[in-house]
Amino acid sequence: GLGTCVMQGRTETTSSSRSPRGLFTLHQTLLSLNNLWLVLVPVAAVTFPVSCSTTAFATLAIFVPLPSSVSQADCYVSLWLPTATCERSRTKTVRNSDNPVWNETFYFRIQSQVKNVLELTVYDEDFATPDDHLLCALFDTAKLPLDRTVILSFKPGPNVRATKQLKQLRNQWRVTEQFQNLSEPIIFDQCLKVDMDVLISNIHVCFYLSNCSCQQDLDMRFGFNLCSEEMAFLGKRKRYVASALKNVFHLPHELQDREVPVVAIITTGGGLKSMTGLYGSLMGLKKLNLLDCITYISGLSGTTWTMANLYRDAYWSQKDLDSHIGEAQKQATKCKMGCFSMDRMKYYNKQLCQRKEEGYRTSFIDLWGLMIEYLLNDGKDPHKLSEQQEALCDGQNPLPIYVSVCVRDSYSTNDFKEWVEFTPYEVGLLKYGAFVRTEHFGSEFFMGRLLKKLPESRICYLQGMWSSIFSVNLLQIWGLSHSSEDFWRRWTQDKIDEVDEDPVLPTRPHELRTRMYTPPGALSSALRGALTDRFSVAQHHNFLKGYQLHNNYMENQHFCRWKDTVLDSRPNQLMQNPDQLGMIDAGFFINTSSAPLLRPQREVDVIIYLSYTTGSHTSSLDKACKYYSEQKIPFPTISLTDEDKKNLKECYIFQDSDLPGCPIVIFLPLVNDTFQEYKAPGVKRCCSEMEEGQLDLTSSCSPYCMFSVRYTDDNYRKLLNLSEYNILNNSQMIMQALQTAMQRRRQMC
C-alpha cells in the first residue's frame, strides 16, 4: 500500500464489437428527456496483486431537467471512469428527440485497489455555444455485490428542490465473475516487459500475461512518517536542546531523549514588517539563551525572507546575530528604484528565458521572485533550498519549514487548498503523504518515477511563491472585507444532492454515497470564473501525476486530518492530476505557518506563535483555532475577551491539558504596549527617549504597512527593538510554558 495513493498503469479502450475479459463493460444505454437508462456490464476486473475485484450488470434511469431551449433536445451521455482511461466515452447524439434511445457498448479496464467512481453526465449538444451540462451522477463501483443480480432505485434526498425535476435512478447489477489471488502481482512500470498472446473472437479477447518484477525504488516517498534525514536531525538537535534547557533552568542532570520537549516557532506573514520582526524576536530568544531550545522554525510570506537569509550561514544560531541584522537593515533601507532599471529588466528577461529553457513553466510569480532577489540582496543569489542541509548536519540550528498551499483553477482558496511543506530535505503534500526530495521539486514525475530532472530552482523563485501578493482573487478580497464568502459561493457552486438507494445494499467498506451534481447556469459559471481567477500562480510539475486514490482513502486517518476541500469526496476531480501544481502564499488562507508543525509525527509540545500581521492579530489565531477544531487536530481553545482583542497584551499562554497531543501555545503579537515607557525590561525611558517608543503599527499611513518595501534607518531600528523587547519582557511566561512541557514529558516517560 502507498498510503492514500495507488499507481495506475497505462490503460486503453477497445472496440465496442468485442467483449474482452478483464474489462469493465457498459452497453445498452437508453435515454429520454424523462428517463436515462444505462446498462453497465463489468465482465471482469484485473487485480493488483491479490485483491478481489467485482464484475456486474447494471441499469440506471434518471429524470432529466428540460434544457432551456425552444428546440427539442439533442442529448447525449458522457461516461468517465478516469481510473480506467484518460479518455471520456460518449454515446451518439440523438437529435430533436424527446425520447432518444441508444444501444451502445463501452469497455473499460479497471482494478479494485483504486477508488473507481463512474461519472454519468447528461449534455444537450449545441453548435454555436458549448454543450449544456444538465447534470452528473456519480456511482461508486465498490457497491457492486457478488454473484447476484440487484435492481436499485436511486431517489433524491428530501432536500432536493422540485425545480430540478430529478426523480430517480434505477439500477440493475449482476456480478458475472472475478479474478483474485493471482499467483504473481502484475507490475506497471515504465520498464515493464509483457509477453502477450492474444486470442480474438467475436465474443472474447483473452490476454495471457507473463510479468516480471521491478526491484527499483520509487523516486518519491509515500508515507506520513518523517523522512530518515529529519529523524537523524532530531536525534542530533535533542543534544543542543537538552544542554540549553539544563543551563537555563539549572537542572541537576541531563534530560533523557524522551524528556526533551519539542519547541517550535510559527509566524505570520506581513512583508518587510514580518522579516524585520522575526530578526528581533530571534535576537531576544538568543539573549535569553533560548534559541538553542528551538527545534523547528516555520515561516510564510515575509518571514521566509529572514529564514532564507539566515540559513546561508551554516552556524547562524551559534553566532551573534548582529552581522545578519546589519545586512538586513542595509537591504531594507536601500532605494528600490533600481528594481525597474533597464539593466535589471534585461537581467529578468535573461533569467526567465534560461528558466524556461531548463523546462520550467514561467509566470509572473517567477518575475516577482527575481524582484525579491533584488530587494534583499546586492546581486544574484545562487543559493538553493537543499543547500540548507549544511546548516542542519550537526543539529546546530532549528529545522526550517517553509509553507505554501496548493490551489485549483475555478475554486476559491477556502473551497480548495492543500498544505505543502518545504524543508531542506523534502517537499510534500501533507494530505497525501507524498514527498519528493527538495532538489527534485519541479522536475517531471510519472507514477513515482523521475522522468526528467530539472536543475533545482534558486531560492528566490521559491520566495516569490511563498510570499506572492499577486495570487489573490476577488472572492478572497470580498471575504477580507465582509468576513464571509458564503453569499457569492452560494450562487457559484455546483448543487450537490445525495440520493438514497432502494433497496439498500449491504454496506461495503470505504464506499461513497451516490450523488447527483447540477452545475450552475452560464451566468453563475461566468461569475464564478471572475471571482476565483487569480492574477498569477506559481506553476510546478505535478509529482503526483499518474496516481489514483486508494479504494479506502476516505478511511485513512492521516488523509482525513487534512480533508477540507470540496473535492475530497469526488476522487475523479481530486486526482485529475493536472500537469502543473498551482501554489500560492499560505497567507491567502490562514495567515499562519502552523499546519506542518501539527503533524502528529513531529510531537510538538510548545508553539511560540509570533504574529507580525498588519491587520488583526487575533484574526489568524481565531481562524487557525476554528480550522483545527473542525479538522479534529489537537489545538488549544483561544479564549480572549472583546476587551483583550481591543487592547492586546504582549503575551498570552493557551493550553488544554485534557486534550492528548495538544501543544502549549505562547501567543506573542507584535504590539506596542509597555515598550512606549520602557526601553528594556524594568528600565524606564527618560523624557528624551520617549520618541523611541512611539511606533505607528496600525494606521493606514503607517510606515510598516504590508506593501512597504523600504524603511528608514530609524523605522527599522524601532521595529527591531520592539520585537526584541516583547520577547525579553515576557521571558517568565515563556520559561513557565517550557517548564510545563518538561513536566508533561517526564509524566509520559
Residues 538-557: tens digit of each pLDDT: 889 999 998 888 777 777 88
User: 417 and 565 in contact (C-beta within 8 Å)?
Assistant: yes
Does the active-site annotation cover 585? yes
Residue 517 pLDDT:
63
Does the active-site annotation cover 457? no
Q: What beta strand segments (E) does 661-711 contain?
A: 664-669, 678-680, 683-684
Residue with cell 540548507: 388
Neighbour count for residue 512 (Cβ, 10 Å):
17
% of the chain with per-residue pLDDT over 70: 71
User: 638 and 628 in contact (C-beta within 8 Å)?
Assistant: no
pLDDT tens profile 334-362: 999 999 899 999 999 999 999 999 999 99
State the first-to-last Cα distance of the chain, in angstroms, to the nearest integer: 33
Given the residues 274, 301, 468, 471, the one annotated as active site: 301
* Residue 597, CA atoms < 13 Å, CB-side half-sphere: 33
Given the residues 74, 124, 292, 585, the one annotated as active site: 585
Measured CA distances, 657 to 624, 666, 732 (Å): 19, 14, 20
Mean predicted lDDT score pLDDT of the chain: 78
pLDDT at 515 over 90: no
Which of 16-30, 82-96, 128-142, 650-664 tops mean pLDDT? 650-664
Closest CA to 446 of 4, 8, 3: 8
**Which three-class secondary structure string do you get for 500-531?**
EEECCCCCCCCCCCCEEEECCCHHHHHHHHHH
Q: Which three cell numbers stand for residue 124?
A: 444537450
Tell me the pTM: 0.80
pLDDT band at residue 53 under the 50/70/90 scheme:
very low
Provide the H-helix boundaries in 66-215: none
Task: Give the residue, 494 or 282, on which the prediction is more confident.
Answer: 282
Beta bridge partner(s), residue 518 = 495
pLDDT band at residue 511 under the 50/70/90 scheme:
low
Give the 3-state secondary structure of residue 363: coil
pLDDT at 665 over 90: yes
Mean predicted confidence (pLDDT) in 49-54: 35
pLDDT band at residue 616 under the 50/70/90 scheme:
confident
pLDDT at 468 over 60: yes
Residue 748 pLDDT:
84
Mean predicted confidence (pLDDT) in 178-188: 47
pLDDT band at residue 516 under the 50/70/90 scheme:
low
User: 650 and 617 in contact (C-beta within 8 Å)?
Assistant: no
Domains and CATH numbers, the chain: 5-189+493-520 (2.60.40.150), 228-472+537-748 (3.40.1090.10)
Residue 86 pLDDT:
77
Q: What beta strand segments (E) does 479-565 contain?
A: 495-502, 515-518, 538-541, 547-549
